[in-house]
Amino acid sequence: GIQVEQSPPDLILQEGANSTLRCNFSDSVNNLQWFHQNPWGQLINLFYIPSGTKQNGRLSATTVATERYSLLYISSSQTTDSGVYFCAATPGAGSYQLTFGKGTKLSVIP
């Protein structure tokens, strides 16, 4: 199966700072998603982004499928952005099993 690697594993930011989280995957993917896991354990969908760029408020994501990576940008970070960010992908067409990276734990301090 595909391998998904995320970096950095931990990140501490001052409120208001910007950050970039990276996700590398080992093979071509059919589905690439970013999730935020809040302190209560709920996984929240951020982006479905197998290719291209999307923006949602202070968050944006870019996937370069040919180079097998995706980036999640957080601008003007807030304490509520704290939590774990996961990247997950499925291999080629016909498969729906998401393989997750180990996550980036983000702590935004006031």
Partner 1 sequence: DVKVTQSSRYLVKRTGEKVFLECVQDMDHENMFWYRQDPGLGLRLIYFSYDVKMKEKGDIPEGYSVSREKKERFSLILESASTNQTSMYLCASSTPGQPGAFFGQGTRLTVV
Binding-site ranges for partner 1 (CB under 8 A): 1, 31, 33, 35, 40-43, 45, 48, 86, 88, 96-103
Minimal distance in Å, beta carbon 75 to partner 1?
A: 23
Q: What is the C-alpha to C-alpha distance for residues 68 and 50, in angstroms, rounded to an integer?
A: 10
The nearer residue to partner 1, 39 or 57, going by C-beta atoms, is: 39
Minimal distance in Å, beta carbon 13 to partner 1?
A: 21
| CA distances (Å), origin 78, targets 34, 82, 85, 87, 92 | 18, 8, 14, 20, 36
The nearer residue to partner 1, 17 or 65, going by C-beta atoms, is: 65
Minimal distance in Å, beta carbon 6 to partner 1?
A: 9
Minimal distance in Å, beta carbon 78 to partner 1?
A: 22
The nearer residue to partner 1, 18 or 42, going by C-beta atoms, is: 42
Task: Give DSSP secondary structure letters for 55-109.
Answer: EETTEEEEEEGGGTEEEEEE-S--GGG-EEEEEEEE-STT----EE---EEEEEE
Q: What is the C-alpha to C-alpha distance for residues 6 and 60, in angstroms, rounded to an integer?
A: 17
The nearer residue to partner 1, 17 or 98, going by C-beta atoms, is: 98
